[in-house]
């Protein structure tokens, strides 16, 4: 029994010990959890405290309606006062109850009850963010939205959200609710880009409905205005009336839910068609809006400032006369014949030397704030890219000359893709780089890109501002028909570097910005050496050939030293011309907003016409210097067809000599031996035919030279008569009896009369009538020929004239230039493509 009792006691002790151990473990776990919670709480408090500590102060000057932004042209003259014409301020007393009810039901129904932050709404937003990711739902009150638009940046981060709530609490303590609502309704953006845009509810009411007294707003109008700020561009009733109608109905339903109106009132308002409510008055829009689009972009990207809200002074590069003319050629009064109202064009005009944007043509029939075809439209560049990706890099990195011989024997084959062909279907074997660019030939262009390499071509293009796709270029980009896309402004910037001795300036419209506190920021771009001056000049000289006798000849401006290049993509979807003088660079693009719709075949010259018209206008009355060849370039004669290039010999026909450009130190040194000295004639003889009263002349010549023969003859030692023949015989008819004839025969090149052999001469005495002696014949006599005795009683010649000369045979041996070089672009060919109909970069 004692043992059993002791056993029970031992078990009880063991159970107590086990329970004690379990309790100790749970206590430790609990303490650990509490500790972790405390750490997290302290961390959260620390982070939130840091966010609050680093929040901007509540600057009351930023809460009101900001000062307008003043924009000045290149001469410092004010041409736009932004914000002043876009904003009509309304006080709280001007706001009708129907508008206030619509806004609060939509944006912040407990606005007059919370202290700046709606806790219930914030908790709902937290759950939405947990399920949809941070930023899925904002939960911001009207007070928070005022803070965000006035004091904070728009990014969706935890830091910004904490600072927004902290500042909202301060704002709510500092201002009456009515003042905060007034701030909100005067600041909010209501869309309407096509009408110039509207900041503030009073401006929006006037812009959309023609309402200047807000008390006149109907329930339907108030509901539409209340719904616009959520997505002002998407719900714009002038562009998307169906979406605007849906949004208006949503606001009406919210007003019913929050007992602001009855269901009957909502139904009556919903029955009103949005388009019937609109009363769009003709508004005074900002002048030169296409240019201001670029100003806005630069100020936002470089300074993170808003030209419509920040009250700036902006100094620009705008040339008003150039801008006005660009807008004129894109207007309904344009001298350019457009086929329809839908065809668009974009134009960018730069100062070649500085990159300063002088004018921007944003498109035809363009409403203020609409899509800008010169800076926003990114389209395939077509053949306008050829100097940038192929010929420029080849000259820069491979030291090519303008004579460089490039393969052009047939279509360019690519594995896994269709072959690339020349637009004209012609393949002449090797052609010069100049001729390939002049005639915009695809095959040699791709061979050039292949040889220089995609990597080096990319480096070259990036250096002059070409936007390279993230996944890089491929070989087809060499003819502008693949992944690469550019705006007219991009194109003008790239071409300006060729005209500026290889110095690239990123195009810029803003020179200086002055902030409200007096701080100044200089926004001029810095010049960068993108290529050698030799490359720039040689490309320029090749582009001169394009406009003088190539695909761009219709854009040529007589008397103005200018160059340029055409560009047309497959099926004429995008049509370009980009060119420059030493003063200006202009890029013009033509096409439809639908990037699959082709430009009509008989209107593919429009980009060239735009360029020519604008360049002629802005160049009038100012001196335009020609492009000056730098010392790093040598102009050298080359014997046509030689590969590698060789100097012509003394016997090379002129027709086989071209003059091309070489980088100094890379010009040809070796002289060609293709053409030898022309052999003289042999076995020259002359015989008098008494029956026909004529002299028959015969000679021999080697058959391995392509020559003609010049026969000179006359009496008494002169050779005043001259004829040319390809035969080895000649006849002098109706000769004078008793006279001595001197005959001289010279072999000349059939291609070049200046290349001639040594002359061979013979003399023959024509016997007098009744003279029994044989006629004398002398082959190059050293002594003078004795004059014959004068006959006592000569018979009169029935036809005593100078004799009938045979008509020289037609010269059928003029060789057509095969494109292996063409001097300064003049190769005797005229294969212009003025209408651009055939210049499709991909067959």
Res 807: pLDDT: 36
Q: Could you tell me which of 254, 195, 192 has the C-alpha nearest to residue 226?
A: 254
Structure tokens at 352: 């070649």
Res 619: pLDDT: 98
Select the more confidently predicted residue: 451 or 300. 451
| Lookup result for tokens 């018979």 | 795
Q: Could you tell me which of 162, 490, 159 has the C-alpha nearest to residue 297?
A: 490
Compute the average pLDDT of residues 391-404. Answer: 98
How many angstroms separate the CA atoms of 69 and 306, rounded? 9
Sheet strands (E) in 317-447: 344-351, 357-361, 405-406, 412-414, 417-420, 431-432
Structure tokens at 42: 């302290």
Position 709 confidence tier, pLDDT thresholds 50, 70, 90: very high
From the candidates 68, 149, 368, 383, which is the catalytic residue? 383
Alpha-carbon distance values, 235 to 28, 184, 228 (Å): 59, 19, 6
CB atoms within 10 A of CB 39: 10
Sheet strands (E) in 701-807: 707-715, 721-725, 729-733, 740-749, 760-765, 777-779
Select the more confidently predicted residue: 128 or 797. 128
Compute the average pLDDT of residues 549-570. Answer: 97
What letter does residue 148 receive in the DSSP assignment?
H
Evaluate whether 391 touches 384 at the Cβ level (below 8 Å): no
Alpha-carbon distance values, 59 to 56, 161, 167, 641 (Å): 8, 18, 10, 77
Res 832: pLDDT: 38
pLDDT in tens, 802-813: 333 333 333 433
Res 283: pLDDT: 56
Res 794: pLDDT: 41
pLDDT in tens, 617-634: 999 999 999 999 999 999
How many angstroms separate the CA atoms of 204 and 769, rounded? 116
**Burial of 306 by CB count in 10 Å (0-12 exposed, 13-18 middle, 19+ buried)?**
middle
Residue 383 known to be catalytic: yes
Residue 291 — φ and ψ, nearest 5°?
-70, -40
The SS3 assignment for 576 reads: strand
Compute the average pLDDT of residues 20-47. Answer: 73
Residue 321 known to be catalytic: no
Handedness of CA 672, 673, 674, 680 (dihedral sign): positive
Position 199 confidence tier, pLDDT thresholds 50, 70, 90: confident
Residues near 116 by beta carbon (within 8 Å), at least 6 away in sequence: 141, 143, 144, 165, 168, 169, 170, 171, 172, 173
The SS3 assignment for 315 reads: strand
In DSSP notation, 481-535 reads -SS--B-HHHHHHHHHHHHTTTEE---BSEEEEE-TTS-EEE-PPPPEE-S-HHH
pLDDT greater than 60 at residue 594: yes
Evaluate whether 723 touches 807 at the Cβ level (below 8 Å): no
Handedness of CA 228, 230, 236, 241 (dihedral sign): negative
Res 717: pLDDT: 84
Position 194 confidence tier, pLDDT thresholds 50, 70, 90: low
pLDDT greater than 50 at residue 133: no
Res 783: pLDDT: 40
**Please, what is the average pLDDT of the chain?**
84
Least confident of 52-56, 200-204, 383-387, 435-439: 52-56
Res 67: pLDDT: 63
Select the more confidently predicted residue: 556 or 164. 556
- State the number of CA atoms in the 13 A half-sphere of 790 facing the CB: 2
From the candidates 107, 182, 609, 842, which is the catalytic residue? 107
Position 416 confidence tier, pLDDT thresholds 50, 70, 90: confident
Res 441: pLDDT: 97
Length of the chain in residues, anyone? Answer: 843
Q: State percent of the chain over pLDDT 70.
A: 81
pLDDT greater than 90 at residue 13: no
Three-state SS across 254-302?
HHHHCCCCCHHHHHHHHCCCHHHHCCCCCCCCCCCHHHHHHHHHHHHHH
Compute the average pLDDT of residues 759-768. Answer: 93
CB atoms within 10 A of CB 625: 9
Least confident of 361-375, 548-562, 775-789: 775-789
| Lookup result for tokens 């043992």 | 3
pLDDT in tens, 340-390: 999 999 999 999 999 999 999 999 987 655 689 999 999 999 999 999 999
Res 560: pLDDT: 98
Position 436 confidence tier, pLDDT thresholds 50, 70, 90: very high
How many angstroms separate the CA atoms of 740 and 459, rounded? 77
pLDDT in tens, 495-549: 999 999 999 999 999 999 998 768 899 999 999 999 999 999 999 999 999 999 9
Q: Is 683 left (phi over 0), alpha (psi -120 to 50) or beta?
A: left
Evaluate whether 422 touches 408 at the Cβ level (below 8 Å): yes
* N- to C-terminal Cα separation, the chain: 112
């Amino acid at each position: 029994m004692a043992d059993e009792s002791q056993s029970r006691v031992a078990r009880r002790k063991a159970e107590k010990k086990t329970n004690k151990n379990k309790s100790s473990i749970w206590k430790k776990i609990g303490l650990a959890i509490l500790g972790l919670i405390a750490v997290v709480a302290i961390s959260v408090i620390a982070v939130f405290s840091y966010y609050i500590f680093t929040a901007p102060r509540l600057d009351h000057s930023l809460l009101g309606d900001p000062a307008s932004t003043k924009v000045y042209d290149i001469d410092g003259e004010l041409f736009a006062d932004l914000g002043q014409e876009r904003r009509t301020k309304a006080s709280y007393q001007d706001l009708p109850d129907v508008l206030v009810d619509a806004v609060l039901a939509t944006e912040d129904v407990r606005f007059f009850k919370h202290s700046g932050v709606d806790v219930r709404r914030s908790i709902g937003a937290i759950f939405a963010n947990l399920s949809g990711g941070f930023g899925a739902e904002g939960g911001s009150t009207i007070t928070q939205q005022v803070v965000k638009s006035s004091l904070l940046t728009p990014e969706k981060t935890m830091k910004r959200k904490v600072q927004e709530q902290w500042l909202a609490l301060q704002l709510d303590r500092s201002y009456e609710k009515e003042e905060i609502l007034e701030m909100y309704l005067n600041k909010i953006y209501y869309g309407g880009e096509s009408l110039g845009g509207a900041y503030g509810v009073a401006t929006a009411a006037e812009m959309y409905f023609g309402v200047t007294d807000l008390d006149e707003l109907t329930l339907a109008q108030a509901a539409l205005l209340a719904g616009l700020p959520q997505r002002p561009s998407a719900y714009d009733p002038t562009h998307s009336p169906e979406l605007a109608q849906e949004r208006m109905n949503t606001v009406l339903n919210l007003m019913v839910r929050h007992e602001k109106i009855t269901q009957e009132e909502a139904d009556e308002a919903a029955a009103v068609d949005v388009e019937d409510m609109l009363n769009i008055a003709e508004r005074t829009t900002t002048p030169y809006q296409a240019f201001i689009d670029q100003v806005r972009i630069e100020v936002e990207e470089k300074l993170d400032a808003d030209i419509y809200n920040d009250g700036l002074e902006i100094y620009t590069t705008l040339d008003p006369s150039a801008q006005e003319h660009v807008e004129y050629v894109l207007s309904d009064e344009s001298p350019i014949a457009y086929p329809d109202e839908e065809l668009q064009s974009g134009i960018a005009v730069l100062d070649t030397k500085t990159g300063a944007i002088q004018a921007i043509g944003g498109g035809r029939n363009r409403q203020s704030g609409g899509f800008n075809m010169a800076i926003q439209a990114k389209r395939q560049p077509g053949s306008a890219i050829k100097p940038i990706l192929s010929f420029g890099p080849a000259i820069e990195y491979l030291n090519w000359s303008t004579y460089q011989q490039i393969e052009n024997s047939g279509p360019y084959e690519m594995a896994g893709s269709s072959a690339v062909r020349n637009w004209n279907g012609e393949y002449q074997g090797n052609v010069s780089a100049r001729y390939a660019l002049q005639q915009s030939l695809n095959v040699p262009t791709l061979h050039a890109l292949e040889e220089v390499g995609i990597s080096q071509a990319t480096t070259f293009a990036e250096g002059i501002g070409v936007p390279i796709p993230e996944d890089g270029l491929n070989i087809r980009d060499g003819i502008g028909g693949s992944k690469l896309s550019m705006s007219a402004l991009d194109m003008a910037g790239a071409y300006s570097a060729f005209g500026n001795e290889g110095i690239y300036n990123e195009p810029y419209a803003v020179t200086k910005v002055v902030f409200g506190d007096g701080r100044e920021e200089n926004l001029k771009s810095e010049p960068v050496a993108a290529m050698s001056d030799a490359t720039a000049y040689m490309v320029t000289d090749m582009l001169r050939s394009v406009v003088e006798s190539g695909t761009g000849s219709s854009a040529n401006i007589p008397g103005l030293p200018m160059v340029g290049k055409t560009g047309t993509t497959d099926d004429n979807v995008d049509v370009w011309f980009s060119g420059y003088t030493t003063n200006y660079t202009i890029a013009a693009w033509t096409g439809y907003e639908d990037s699959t719709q082709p430009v009509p075949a008989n209107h593919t010259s429009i980009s060239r016409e735009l360029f020519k018209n604008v360049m002629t206008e802005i160049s009038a009355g100012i001196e335009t210097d020609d492009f000056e060849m730098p010392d790093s370039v040598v102009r050298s004669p080359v014997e046509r067809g030689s590969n590698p290039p060789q100097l012509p010999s003394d016997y090379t026909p002129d027709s086989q000599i071209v003059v091309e450009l070489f980088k100094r130190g890379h010009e040809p040194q070796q002289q060609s031996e293709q053409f030898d000295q022309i052999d003289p004639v042999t076995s020259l003889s002359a015989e008098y035919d008494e029956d026909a009263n004529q002299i028959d002349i015969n000679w021999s010549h080697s058959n391995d030279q392509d020559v003609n023969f010049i026969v000179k003859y006359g009496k008494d030692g002169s050779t005043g008569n001259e004829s040319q023949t390809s035969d080895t015989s000649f006849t002098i008819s109706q000769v004078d009896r008793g006279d001595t004839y001197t005959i001289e025969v010279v072999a000349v090149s059939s291609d070049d009369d200046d290349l001639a052999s040594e002359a061979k001469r013979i003399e023959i005495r024509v016997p007098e009538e009744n003279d029994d002696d044989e006629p004398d014949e002398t082959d190059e006599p050293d002594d003078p020929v004795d004059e014959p005795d004068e006959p006592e009683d000569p018979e009169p010649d029935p036809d005593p004239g100078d004799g009938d000369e045979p008509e020289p045979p037609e010269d059928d041996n003029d060789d057509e230039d095969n494109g292996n070089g063409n001097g300064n672009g003049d190769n005797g060919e005229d294969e212009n493509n003025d209408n651009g109909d055939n210049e499709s970069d991909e067959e």
